[in-house]
Structure formats: structure tokens, C-alpha cells
Amino acid sequence: MPVFPINMPQLGDSIAEAIVREALVSPGDTVQADQNLFEVETDKAMMEVTTPCAGTIVEIIAVIGTSYPVGSPIAVIEATTEDAVRAGLLRPEDSGEIALAKVATSAAANGETSAEGSAKADENLHFAVDQSEVITQKAPLSVQPTIEGGLPVPVRSSVYLSPRLRHRMEELGLNSADLAGLPGSGAGGRVTVEDFEKFIRELDESRMTDASPMRIAVADSMRRSWTRPLATVTVPVGMDALLAHRASLSVKPGITLYVMRALALAIAENTAVAGRLIGSKIIHPNVIDIGFAVEAEDGVLVPVVRHVDQHPLSDLLSSYDDLVRLARERRLPKSAMGGGIATITNVGPFGITAASPIPLPEQNLVLGLMAGRRVPVWDSGTNTFVPRMESNFTLSFDHRILDGGAAGRLLLRIAELLQSPESL
């Protein structure tokens, strides 16, 4: 029977590689189509690589703890011609040319390339990757290169760095943000190569631990976000009506879910507030998909709830709870990642009463929920102070798209919607 390489699949639009954490099968095991083969870690979540078809595992190429770019061979499977054709590893007209497939597999297992073998793969399947495009595997770095849009890119900075220094930084996988605390001795405070090498020597004498892929991804996302002019406004929001409605329910939605629904309805009334500025045009969102921040191990994940404006609160509850659980386990499905137009972050459980959250690079808005406090509010009807449960809501936004007045009106509309939680 013919044998085929199993390659590292594209696990997400912005994911260029993944670290193999565990092999779930062994050489000689008989497997079914779509059976889990490896557990891998991306910069967003723990995910599984599955088998393309039924067959027998001939060889496990991947080394545990090693990072493999998309398209790299990580295992070899033996399958019948029928199963291979059904999975797209062979085209029907090529099923008689099994010898070529064996040659291609052998070359892939040895790290070589074979145009003849790779031509048998169906290019529409993520398992079938042209071997000429395979990137050589590499061990995980203690400092990963800057990733933008999922691909390594040269460092960009408004601070002048000589070509020689940039080349040295790229060798070490560093970017200009890593030099933020380094005073330069060159003209105008410029960081010289000598300053940089002294800095690296001092680092070698310090205690260091590896940053996780998620921490690196968060850091890079925030660095790219900060290239825009960002601003934050705050409005106190009464929470008594929301809390009373929640207490009356047998199954109680999270506070974040109430606010997510109110935010979606407010955006639906004027989609420009969640738009993106591209050139001289504001691009309005086509759908109102909203993400929410969930603290995970050594970072934050942002699962996305789709079409929030089109579904009442009761319909969103089950899927929202599932996403919270999967995010904490770092097992979010690809369908729940990316594509959101705004994010909600609830830092109230940590006792935080004021913050300026930073929107994701591809978004204009992030809504922050602060800790609730009971405060005195003047009642003009009784001419007395009355207690009210109140939370500060903050809205951080791209100042190129919104001004303070528009941002404030959006917050006030959200607050107004929350006073009638039964309508959400």
C-alpha cells in the first residue's frame, strides 16, 4: 500500500507554526480518518492534528517540544489507494501511479522535496502541502521573532536603528520594543551596536525564563495596537436593574453577557462606531460578532460570539458558557476565534475600579467593566442620597474614528439598554 506524509496543517488564519506537545498514537497503530494524532500548542490555544484518512502509522517524525511551521512533515501514514483517493491524497486518475507517491513520501520523511510526489496532493486539503514550500523545522526559541499576520516580518520602529543593529536584532529574534528601557550613547540618544551588545551581556547575567507562545502573542498584539492614537472615556453605570433581573432567573447569565448584548444593540444602531479607517474610508462591519476576554494560563484568550445583535440573551447563554470553559482549557474551536469587531473585558472580579484596556489591532473598540461599588446618588425627588450599585464602564477606541463625544454617547446608550435587562 502507498505511504504519505502527514504535514502540519494551517490551524488558523494567522498561525504560521505550532509546537508539538504530545503524540497520541505510536508507529504501527491503526487509525481512523480524523483521529487525533498530535496535541499541539499555537500562540492561541492547544489544538489537535488529525489523520487525513484511515490507515497505519508508519513513522512519527515530529519531536516533542519542537516547533513545526505549516507544511512540515510530522508523521507518515500507510493507506489503501481507495482511502487515499477519498481523502484527496491521490487524484483518481493518479491512483495507478503509486510508485511516485512512495518516492514522494520517502523524500518528505528525509526532509527532502519532491515535485513529483507533491503533485499528487489535492491542494484544497490542508494535509496536502507542496513539499517545495515546506519550511525547515526549528527548535523553539527563548525569544521568538516578531509575528505580524502570522508571518515573520522585519521590525518597524519610529526610532532610528542602523541596518547593522537591525540585522543583529533579527538574528536574536528581538524587536524595537525590547529596547524601550535601553538608553543610547549615540548621537541624539541613538542606540549603538555597542550599547546593544552590552545590553545582551547584562541579560545573560540575569535570571531568565522562557515566555510562553501565548505571552509572546499578547505582547506582539499590544505592540501593534499601540501604533494607533488610542483614547479612553469612562461613564458610571447603574447595575441594580441588571442584578435584580439576574437574581430572578434560575439559570443566571454572566454580567459580561448582558453587557455584550447591550453593546451589540448599540453598535447595530450606528455601525460606524465599530468601523475601521482604511485610507480615507470608514469600513463598516458586515456582522456584529463580539469577543470577550477570558483569563487563561499565562495570558488572555478572546473567544467570539457570532451575530450577537440577532439573538436574545437567553439564546446566547449556553454557547457563551461553553466558550468560557473551552477558553480556560485553551481548547477553543477555530470557529470561535478571530473576526470580532469589538471586545469586552471584565476586570471587576479582580477588584479593579479604573483601567484603560487596549483594543486589539484589528478592532476599534474595547469595553472595560470595572468592579461594582455601592455609592450614594442624589435623588431630586426625595432630596436625599440613595444607595446605588454602580460600575465604571470604560471605552477605549481608535481616536481616528471616534471622538470623545461619540464614544461617550455610545457608553450612555449601553447604560440605557442595561436599565431594561428583560428586553435584552
DSSP sequence for 258-285 = HHHHHHHHHHHH-GGGG-EEETTEEE--
Q: What pLDDT score was predicted for residue 343?
A: 94
- Given pLDDT bands bounded at 50, 70 and 90, which one contains residue 413? very high
The residue that leads in pLDDT, 128 or 199, is 199
Q: What is the average pLDDT value for the chain, to the nearest integer? A: 80
The string over 151-187, giving b where at least 16 C-beta atoms fall within 10 Å of a residue's C-beta and e elsewhere, is eeeebeeeeebeeebbebbeeeebbbebbeeeebeee
For residue 54, pLDDT over 50 is answered with yes
Mean per-residue pLDDT, 398-418: 93
If you average pLDDT over residues 31-56, what whole number do you get?
87
Return the C-alpha cell found at 367.
469595553
pLDDT of residue 119: 41
At 397, the pLDDT band (50, 70, 90 cuts) reads very high
Q: Are residues 267 and 414 in contact, defined by beta-carbon separation less than 8 angstroms?
A: no
Q: Provide the CB-side half-sphere exposure for 251 (13 A, CA).
A: 9
Q: What percent of the chain has pLDDT over 70?
A: 81
Query: Residue 101: is its pLDDT beyond 70?
Result: no
How far apart, in whole angstroms, are the C-alpha atoms of residue 38 and residue 22?
6
What are the structural domains, with CATH classification, of the chain? 3-133 (2.40.50.100), 147-215 (no CATH), 228-423 (3.30.559.10)
Give the DSSP H or E segment for 56. Answer: strand 55-60
Q: How many CB atoms lie within 10 A of CB 108?
A: 25
Mean pLDDT for 316-323 is 92
Q: Give the residue-averaged pLDDT of 88-106.
A: 54
Mean pLDDT calculated for residue range 407-420: 95
Measured distance CA(137)–CA(88) in Å, rounded: 25
Q: Give 224-241 pLDDT, tens digit per residue.
A: 777 788 999 999 999 999
pLDDT at 388: 92
Rounded-to-integer distance, Cα 207 and Cα 163, Å? 30
Residue 130, pLDDT > 70, answer: no
Instruction: Give the tens place of pLDDT for each residue, 109-120.
Output: 445 444 444 443
Residue 93: per-residue pLDDT? 58
Please provide the size of the chain in residues. 424
